[in-house]
Structure 1
Amino acid sequence: MSDLFYQTITPTTHDLGDFKVRRALPGRPRTMVGPFIFVDQFGPADLDIGSGMDVRPHPHINLATVTWLFEGAIDHRDSIGSFSTIRPGTVNLMTAGTGIVHSERSPQDERDRGPKLYGMQTWLALPDGQEEIAPAFEAISDLPVVEDDCAKAVVIMGELWGKRAATTTHAETIYAEIVLAGGGSLPIDAGADERAVMLVGGEASLDGEALELYTLYVLKPGEAMTLTSQTGGRAMLLGGEAFATQRHVWWNFVSSDRERINHAKEQWQSGAFPKVPGDEEEYIPLPDVPKTVSYP
């Protein structure tokens, strides 16, 4: 491993038939980078006409979900009555807090022409004292952009390159999409406690070290670096403040308290969570053995 990187994480790939999902966090090597406790990259994929993504209603507690698309569209519905069609350039932030249920499905117009799926799904653990805040939702498209002739970065959350996104942050968070043309470069700020970079398309390197596609590179704290590309590439920068207390993950539940997770399991099985208006007929049952778990 290069001296530039504190840790290199190869994601677990789940082949869902029409598209692949690559899960970098949580895993045995590491559970969090800043507040990010779940990092999925999916696509790129072109689905058949008439098909689509259908993630049935399911619950969350004590976290916030962040959806960011490079291509395609997803209809979001949740139990506090929110509806949003997620498209590239708009960040969807859903804060679960005490508990929320949501679904994610391909819009009908996407199904009619054959949906594209390419983007990121991440979860942020809520900090101490804020895990049980009220559920909330926001979709923000007026995001800061830093660009020159060969580089463009969208600040999705937090402050980077002197610009701050309007997106709510419960803990100190940085999150950005970086697109480089051939010969492009961009400095990677060194201010956050913990930072990681994932190349999600094309080719790029950090201070001359080539990045493998979809690998999550956890960067050494405090070291300024430069991301460059010879032929063009797309990368995600994520991180923020290091958490002093441990977070546990079981299925879609995140909490500092294992008993809180057990209570959420019981609530979902008993039907105590609220329904999603407009998507009330289906739901995902509580799994016996979830694919997403923490490793204390």
Structure 2
Amino acid sequence: MQNKICASVAKSKKQKPYLYIMSNIQLIIEERPSDIGNFLVGRLLPFREKRLVGPFCFIDHMGPAAMNEHQNIDIAPHPHIGLSTLTYLFEGSMMHRDALGTEIEINPGQVNWMTAGKGIAHSERTPERLRNSDKFLHGLQIWVALPKHLEQMEPEFFHADGDDIPTWQEDGVDFKLIAGEAFGRKSPIPVYSPLYFIEIKNTEEKTLKIGDSLFGESGLYILDGSVSSEGNTFGPKNFLVAKDSKLCEFTLAPNSTVYIFGGEAFPEERFIYWNFVASSRELIEEAKQRWLNQEFGQVPGESDFVPLPPQSKNVK
């Protein structure tokens, strides 16, 4: 029997931002507001009941946000270890600079993939050409944890244009394989563990059966429109986390956009502190000291940096 998204819902008395599902869906995570300085995002992962989905350990929905000539994104140089960052914009532009000397503007449909490995610092800012004008920003920022044997690899950076990303249409549904492997296709993004990050769009109501192309753990984020199964409908800003990746049958309402994140889970636990992800607390403590000593390399063109958060913030 094929597993389906179906809902026998046990509601919490405290109105927690998720619902347990007595089917193939393990839980539903509602987007939660999170302040990242001068910008409010909707956070999907990490979540107290689900730290990772496959290797995905952090997913932020940025915007949609309209900014005037006095408002800009200015995230000063900050460090990462043990992960790759992926930036994917729907609208707007962002300037990326890192300690490798990379300086590149990311635009809608492109993919910025920075692998921190043993450690890298980078900044994210509104491009100079847009700083004194009205602007708009909307997209996803994602962290993908590295497998244990690659946690200490040398940092790398990769940029892909929209034309480089596999895109196809089946039965009136548009698919894009932003990263990883699925449906017999492979994205050019150099990932380091088995995973997939898929965009699905439609204009007319469609029922999809895609479970055979997925593996490991899987989650489906609804950006626009809705997803239905067995008489139950889930709207925008919900992240449906499956028990075994078999999101194999669901119906998209007209003009929906959804994203599927997933892949093989790691055998070891991952600890997250601030911008650090590691398989051991020792690696995180070491990274904290290195950042205090400013040993992550200088980002060209940058002189300030984000200070280490208070030591009272626990490693999770």
Q: Same fold (TM over 0.5)?
A: yes
Q: Given the alignment of the two structures, is residue 66 of structure 1 paired with residue 86 of structure 2, yes or no?
A: yes
Match among 258, 261, 271 for residue 238 of structure 1: 261
C-alpha contact (below 8 Å) 1:151/1:186 kept by paired residues: no
Partners of 1:34 and 1:238 in 2: CA distance: 8
Matches within 5 A, 1:114-129: 114-129=134-149
Partner of 2:66: 46
Amino acid at match of 1:151: V
Cα deviation, residue 253, structure 1: 0.5
Aligned-pair Cα RMSD in Å: 2.2
Counterpart-to-counterpart distance in 2, 1:158 and 1:207: 30
Q: 1:19, 1:44 within 8 Å by CA — same for their partners in 2?
A: no
> Paired residue for 2:288, among 218, 240, 265?
265
Aligned mate of 1:136, from 156, 178, 187: 156
Q: Is the 8 A contact 1:156 1:177 kept in 2?
A: yes
The one-letter amino acid paired with 2:165 is L
What are the within-5 Å matches in structure 2 for residues 130-279 of structure 1? 130-141=150-161, 142-148=164-170, 150-190=172-212, 191-206=214-229, 209-221=232-244, 223-279=246-302
- What secondary structure sits across from 1:271 in the alignment? coil
| Separation (CA, whole Å) in 1 of partners of 2:246 and 2:57 | 23
Find the partner of 1:286 among 276, 285, 308: 308
Q: Give the Cα–Cα distance (whole angstroms) in 2 for the partners of residues 114 and 205 of structure 1.
A: 37
8 Å CA contact retained: 2:98, 2:121: yes
- Counterparts in 2 of 1:289 and 1:43: CA distance versus 1, 3 Å: farther
Please report how far the alpha carbon of residue 46 of structure 1 lies from its aligned counterpart in structure 2 after TM superposition. 1.1
Give the SS at the match of 2:149: coil
Distance 1:207 1:73 in 2: 40
The answer to whether the 8 A contact 1:86-1:92 is kept is: yes
- Aligned in 2, Cα 1:31/1:290: closer, same or farther, shift over 3 Å? farther
1:40-62 C-alpha deviation (Å, 9 max, x unpaired): 11111111124211111000011
**AA in 2 matched with 1:178:** I
| Mapped partners of 2:75, 2:266: distance in 1 | 30
Please say if residues 176 and 198 of structure 2, whose CA atoms lie closer than 8 Å, have aligned partners that are also in contact: yes
| 1:223–1:207 distance in 2 versus 1, CA, 3 Å | farther
Instruction: Give the % identical residues.
Output: 36
Q: 1:195 to 1:272 in 2, by over 3 A?
A: same
Partner SS for 1:178: strand
1:12 is matched with 32
CA 222–72 in structure 1, closer or farther in 2 if over 3 Å, else same: closer
Match of 2:148, as an amino acid? D
Does the C-alpha gap of structure 1 residues 51 and 290 become closer, same or farther in structure 2, counting only changes over 3 Å? farther
Q: Secondary structure in 2 aligned to 1:197?
A: strand
What is the aligned partner in structure 1 of residue 15 from structure 2? none
Tell me if the contact between 2:218 and 2:245 (Cα under 8 Å) persists in the aligned partners. no
Structure 1, unaligned runs of 5 or more:
none
Give SS of 1:158's match.
strand
After TM superposition, give the deviation of residue 259 of structure 1 in Å: 1.0
Gap change, CA 1:46 and 1:150, over 3 Å in 2? farther
In the TM superposition, residue 108 of structure 1 has moved relative to its aligned partner by: 2.4
Structure 2 residue identity aligned to 1:244: P
Q: Counterpart of 2:284 in 1: which secondary structure?
A: helix
Structure 2: segments with no counterpart, 5+ residues: 1-8, 10-20
TM-score by length of 1: 0.91
CA distances 1:87-142 after superposition (whole Å, capped 9, x unpaired): 11111110000100000111123334422111111111100211000100001120
Q: Which moves more between the two structures, 58-67 or 20-29?
A: 20-29
How big is the shift at 1:294? 5.7
| Per-residue CA distance 1:227-264 (angstroms, 9 max, x = gap) | 43333121111010011001100000011110111111
One-letter amino acid of the counterpart of residue 40, structure 2:
K
User: Which AA in structure 2 matches 1:221?
Assistant: D
Structure showing greater radius of gyration is 2
Whole-Å separation in 2 of the counterparts to 1:278 and 1:242: 38
